[in-house]
Chains A and B, each alone.
Chain A
């Protein structure tokens, strides 16, 4: 049970974090994701139009824009669930640069990209623990025959993964629900579980699609803390879609603004909210962030 692996990893991550200089992350951290002229067409519709941006390690970047701006489509492209029409997506994997356009959706966890979905997609009729174990799926090595014969090597592997998953649940405050069916969790905890499942893949880049959807202010603020904590503890890069301006302004280091598929602005929250194109795009929507 007490393998200590996860805890140890988190500790080293924390050290790394504190060693970081406090200047802008772009200056200090290496490049993680490089998107160049990304274009995605569905028939005649251009959902994403020549969007270029970069993500650096340990950054937390917000992606905002009005409805239909192409935010989720861009996410789907990064997680290889939608093919690019033009442009390139390069990820710095554990063993050098990876061309994301050559990979399939199921390859993403292996190179260190995990995501959540706008309309929570947990496995409802599985337990909370099983959901998290699915996140560890790609790290299993034992073949089917070893399982069918009940071999020791597999039981050992399963025990280790389960201990790791329990530790993760403990860390995220979900341990007491471990054996409950996932659908029985309240909405806010289902969001957390979805993030926990993504974390179980041990990602370096976490894509979070509109975490505040369907939540009130109180819940949203709790989630902000939650995401910032896990980012610090796991040394993650977080790329986050958000519709709620108040929320995204409060904790993004950098914000990218999409409108009608085009990138119209990029910068710190303060820069972005002064940007004339952003104000125009959000005209009519309230922008009463603190």
Chain B
């Protein structure tokens, strides 16, 4: 018996070591990637993948930990994107620090939107929840389209300035690459801390069994709204970064299809794992780029692939069981 235990422990240790080796290798590749590829296009694709990683991992808090399917993520990204950009361009003084303050404000306003939508939406669950979140996403898009004095309507906001730190300006694609990478890593660390804390356990407990979670002293509405607001905060940060990277923002960036796409990334990779959402984001971004020449068939191919994958691996590609 002792021998068996020792062996399994040794195995676990090896597993753990292998895991850290893998993380180390990935980080090393990520650190040198822009210098290894000569093509600026590939760096652009990597930037998109990193952006989608940020928003997909943030959605994983709600979709994976809490187990609620949200169809409104693009709405929160839009709130962050427009808030950051408008504050930075029109409200705050012309200084490099303004962008970062605006970015934080964008995240916080998105989080506030998360609370406002979350309180009524979290009292209901399942199918009603996704109807409410989808409604929210569409409402945000209509506000952006029609509040022309502020958002410039369907034409969108153009020539968004690049962020900078002191005299250093983020102009090149690989500058943004490192910016996105650092923010993604910080976010993953923060979310991992939460996942393995009493807060993360409360979320998972709610997903597993609401009644038992409540009997164990977990305030359901509070923890659901907390998950929703933290998820929205990071989505807002992602949006703020996207606007400055693309130099352009329009309501058409935030269609309901975008929310579905991000949700698909989470489910495809495996929800509730963090690295699942990460993997899904890279995979889907890659798919999108590879299939770009076949534009009219792209969604069809992605749709069929999704159906096959979900049939074969219902918990996602990296999900267990």
Contacts and interface: CB of A to CB of B under 8 A. Distances in A.
Q: Are these two chains actual partners, yes or no?
A: yes
Contact of B215 (A79, A110, A136): A79
Interface stretch (B40-48, B83-91, B165-173, B194-202): B194-202
A133 B204 CA distance: 12
Contacts of A176: 5
Interface string B137-172: 000000000000000000000000000000000000
B193 A147 contact: yes
A197 B204 contact: no
Interface stretch (B177-185, B218-226, B295-303, B305-313): B218-226
Given A134-B202, A154-B197, A109 B217 contact: yes
Contact of B212 (A107, A121, A125): A121
Interface string A120-152: 011111100010011111101000100110100
A134 B196 CA distance: 11
Contact of A108 (B193, B202, B208, B215): B215
B30 to A, nearest CB: 22
Contact of B204 (A121, A125, A179): A125
A158 interface: yes
A102 to B, nearest CB: 16
Interface residues of B, number: 27
B211 interface: yes
Contacts of B189: 150
Contacts of A55: none
A15 interface: no
A117 interface: yes
A277 to B, nearest CB: 32
A274 interface: no
A65 to B, nearest CB: 22
B215 A134 contact: no
Given A117-B212, A137-B202, A150-B193, 7 more contacts: A81-B211, A117-B215, A123-B208, A126-B204, A130-B204, A150-B189, A161-B198
22 contacts: A106-B215, A106-B218, A108-B217, A110-B217, A115-B215, A117-B211, A117-B215, A123-B212, A123-B213, A126-B205, A133-B201, A134-B201, A134-B205, A137-B201, A137-B205, A137-B216, A138-B216, A144-B226, A147-B194, A150-B189, A154-B197, A161-B198
Interface of A: 79, 81, 105-110, 114-115, 117, 121-126, 130, 133-138, 140, 144, 147-148, 150, 154, 158, 161, 176, 179, 197, 201
